[in-house]
Amino acid sequence: MNFKEREVEPVNSMVTNFEDMEQLGRQMERQRTNEELKQHERQPDPVQHDKKIDGKQ
């Protein structure tokens, strides 16, 4: 698959063009950490996996 074909067929990713990538990057920069959320008495996202089961750290 060459570069031109990739422009027509989206690659499996979160964004499909450069403008969306820039916007997503800005959103991620502003994303608060779990510690920041706790300081403001907010509930962070739940754990997405069990370290004991899938071995992720």
Question: What is the pLDDT tens value at each position of the chain, 57 positions in all?
Answer: 455 555 555 556 678 888 988 998 999 899 888 889 889 888 887 776 666 766 655
pLDDT for position 4: 56
pLDDT for position 34: 86
pLDDT for position 33: 87
pLDDT for position 26: 93
pLDDT for position 10: 56
Angstrom distances, CA of residue 27 to CA of 20, 30, 42, 43, 55:
11, 5, 19, 19, 29
15 contact partners, CB below 8 Å, separation of at least 6: 21, 24
